[in-house]
Structure 1
C-alpha cells in the first residue's frame, strides 16, 4: 500500500504552485490515499458544520460508496450542456496534478452531479439553485470500493498560496471529517401534505391518451408533484440512513446546494462504464409487491404477461439499442425481460452490455440515452413537446441523469426517480407513469401513489 505523507502533499502542492505564471492562474491538485475504515454516512454528517455542498452516492450493489464534501471545482452549463461539460472536464484533467496510485473506480478526480430533465422547459423558483447541468469536484471525497477505503483531497492552488500552510489546513479538516459521530435522530413528521392538482393531472392523462390514439405518439410519461411541510427542518443524514435501510438494491443519492438537497433512492441505472465495459439497464413496467410469496409470484407473472407493460418495456430496450450502436461494439441484449423485485415494487428488467469504442466517454452515452422512453416517452421529440405544453410542474432534476465520472474514464449514472427536493422544512416529491393509448387515468394516478411511497415513508409519511 502506498501512503502519502504530509510532506509529500506539501511537496505536490508546492510543485503545482511553482508552475503558475500569474496571480490569476489556478491549478487543480488531487491526491488520493488509502485509509482505515470510515463510515460514509458519518463522513457526510461530519461535514454539515465544516463545508457547504455535500454529495452522497451508493451504487445499487453497494459495491461503491462516494461521499463528497465542499467544492474544489465546479462545472456548469445552461446550453449545449454535454459539450460544455465535456470540454471543461477534459481541460481540468489535462492541466491537473493527480497523485492516485490506485486503479479503483471513484478515486482520483471525481466529478459528481447531474442535469435537468429538459433544459428547454421553463425553470421555476423551485429549482432555481440547480442548473441544467452541474457537476462538482469535491474538496474531500471518501470512497468505499468493495471493502477498501480511500480519501481524495482536491484543491485549486494559486500562485500566492503557501504549500505547507495549505497542507496543514487540509490535514485538520480531514481529521474532523474522519472523527466518528452519531447521526442525529430523525424526529421528522409531516404537518401538511398538498397534492398538486390531482384532478387536473388525470385530465391531462386523458388528453395524452387522445393524442396517442391520433397516432402522433406511442407513449407519453407524465409526472406529478406532492408537496410536504414538516414539523422542523429536515436533516439529510437520517433520511439517507432510512433509505439505505428500506430501499436495498437501489441507488441512494443526495446532491446538496446550500439549503436545498435533491435526494432519492432509484432502482434505475442509466449507464455504467468501467474500463470501457458498458452496462445499461432497461427498467420499465411496474407492479406492486404481494403480501405473501404466492401473491407476489402471481403479480410477477401477470406483469411479465401484461401487454401494456411489455410494450412500455420494449420501447426502452429498442431505444437503448439504437442509442449505443454507433458508440459500442459487442452489444448483447437478452430476448426476454425478467421481473426484478424491489422493496415496494417490482419491475420488468433487461440488462444491456457492450464495449465502449475508443474516443468516446460516458457523457456521450448519457446524451444518447436521456431521456429514456421510461421517463419521456416515444417518439422522444413528440412526447417531450406534449410534456412541455401540458405537464403541471417543473421536473428540474427529477427523471434526469445523476451520477459521477472519474479521471480514469470510469463512471455511472442513474435516472433520478423515487426522489425529493428537500428545502429546510419542506419537500417536493415526484413520481410519473407511462401513458399509452389504453391507459386509465385513475389507474395511472394510483401507480404514482405507489411510486411516491419510498420517499414518503422515510420522510415521516
Structure 2
C-alpha cells in the first residue's frame, strides 16, 4: 500500500490553512495507491459510524466507495438546476490536488433524487431527501484496475495541522488493516408481504381505461413487496452478492443512518465525459430461458413483440426529443438489440451525442427523468395518474442515482431492481408499463419477474 506521507499532507494542508485565515477552506487531494478491494474498504469503514455509498459501473471498470458527508447538496425546489449551480459553486471553493484526469477521482458528488417530489413522503423514506448529492470525506476509486484515494477536508483558522494528519493516518490504516470477520447465521426470509396486490390490479384496469380515453399512451405502475428476515441484513454481503449475480448491471448502495437503498440496475440514464454523451433506451422485458435454445426463442419473440416494441419506442423517441436542444451529432440505431441479464433480458438501443457548450449532465438528467419506462407517456398525464392512483411511496425507486466529478465526467442510472433495507426488513419495488390492451394478471406476473433479481440476492444470503 502506498500511503500518503506526512510531508506530502503537510505541504497541501499548510497551503490550505494559510488560505483559511479569513474563510473556511475546502481542500481535496487524490493519491494513487496499491490495489485494494472496494468491498474490504466498504466493510472496514463501517466502524467509523459514517454513512457509506457504493457505486459500480455495469462493466465493473469503475467502482466508487464514499464514506462520510463533508458537504451535502440538498435543494428543496428546482432540484436539477439548483444542484448544478451549487455543484459549480462548490468546485470554485475547493483547493483541488488531483494529478489524474481519471473518471471518479478528484472532488466527486454521489447520490440521488426521489422519483416525484410532488408526491407526499411517507415514513418509509424519512431518511432520504428529495435530492441529495454527497461530497464525502473519503473516496476510494477503482478505475480500470487502478486504485485512487481521495481525502476531502474542511479547514478553518482554528484547525490544528497535527490533528488533521493523525486523522488521515487513522483512515489510511483502515485500508491495510483487516478486522476478524464476524460470523453470522445465514440470512433467511421469514415472511413476504405483497402490498395491496388486488388494488394494484384494479389500478391497471383504471390505467387502461384512461389510455383508451386518450388521456395517456402508457402509464407505468409500481408495487411493493415487504420482506422480513431472521436477522439484520449485512449490507456488504448483499453488495457482494449483487456483484456476483447481476452482470451488466450497475450495483449501488446509499446508506442513510440505519437504512440502505441498494440494488442492481441495468438502466443507464446518461453518461458524460466532457462533451461526449451516452444514453440508453432499455424497455421491453422477458425472462431468460432455461436452455440456450429456449433463451434464443424468448429473445426472438421479444424482438418481434408488438407491446414490447411499442414500449421501447416510447423511450427512444422521448430521449431523442429530450436531448435535441442540448446536444448535436445525435446518433440512434434504427432498431433495438437484446441486452441479457442474469434473470431477465431487455430490448436495448444506445444513444450517443455531443453536449452543447454551457450544458451539463444535470440538464440532461432533468430532461430525461422520468423516462417512459418508469413514468409513462406523455410525462405530465402519466405522472398525474401515478400520483392519484399509486398508493406506494416510490422514494428513490425509479429515480436518478449517480455521480459527477471535477473532471467534468459523470454518470446517472435509473434506480430499478432495488430494495430499501431497514435492518431486519426490506421493501422491494417493481413496476411495469401499462398500455391500451394490458392484462392485469399478465402485468402482475411481469412485476413478479422483476422482483426476482433482488429476491434471489436475499434468498442466497449468507453469514458475514
The verdict on a shared fold, with TM-score over 0.5 as the criterion, is yes
Aligned residue number for residue 93 of structure 2 = 95
Aligned residue number for residue 7 of structure 1 = 7
Report deviation, 1:21: 4.1
Aligned residue number for residue 309 of structure 2 = 310
Give the 5 Å matches for 1:73-152: 73-152=71-150
1:433, 1:271 → 2: CA distance? 21
Report deviation, 1:458: 1.1
- Structure 2: 5+ residue runs without aligned partners? none
Deviations 1:147-194 (CA, angstroms, capped at 9, x unpaired): 111000111111100123202211212211442457656721111111
Give the 5 Å matches for 1:174-253: 174-180=172-178, 187-253=186-252
Q: Which of 260-269 and 166-175 deviates more?
A: 166-175
Report deviation, 1:118: 0.3
1:312, 1:450 → 2: CA distance? 17
Secondary structure of the structure 2 residue equivalent to 1:61: coil
1:142, 1:178 → 2: CA distance? 13
Kept in 2, the 8 Å contact 1:266–1:414? The answer is yes
2:405, 2:6 → 1: CA distance? 24
Kept in 1, the 8 Å contact 2:81–2:363? The answer is no
2:268, 2:213 → 1: CA distance? 32
1:441, 1:179 → 2: CA distance? 54
2:392, 2:150 → 1: CA distance? 38
Normalising by structure 1, report the TM-score.
0.97
Secondary structure of the structure 2 residue equivalent to 1:122: coil
Report deviation, 1:426: 0.7
Report runs of 4+ in structure 1 exceeding 6 Å deviation: none
- Structure 1: 5+ residue runs without aligned partners? none
1:380, 1:393 → 2: CA distance? 19
Instruction: Give the superposed CA RMSD.
Output: 1.4
Aligned residue number for residue 392 of structure 1 = 391
Report deviation, 1:6: 2.3
Q: Which of 87-96 and 105-114 deviates more?
A: 87-96
Kept in 1, the 8 Å contact 2:3–2:172? The answer is no
Secondary structure of the structure 1 residue equivalent to 2:397: coil
Kept in 2, the 8 Å contact 1:225–1:430? The answer is yes
Aligned residue number for residue 44 of structure 2 = 46
Kept in 2, the 8 Å contact 1:183–1:237? The answer is no
2:199, 2:182 → 1: CA distance? 40
Report deviation, 1:459: 1.2
> In the superposition, relative to structure 1, how do residues 446 and 99 fare at CA in structure 2: closer, same or farther (>3 Å)?
same
Kept in 2, the 8 Å contact 1:113–1:402? The answer is yes
Kept in 2, the 8 Å contact 1:183–1:238? The answer is no
- How many residue pairs were aligned? 458
Secondary structure of the structure 1 residue equivalent to 2:366: helix
Normalising by structure 2, report the TM-score.
0.96
Give the 5 Å matches for 1:426-445: 426-445=425-444
1:81, 1:183 → 2: CA distance? 41
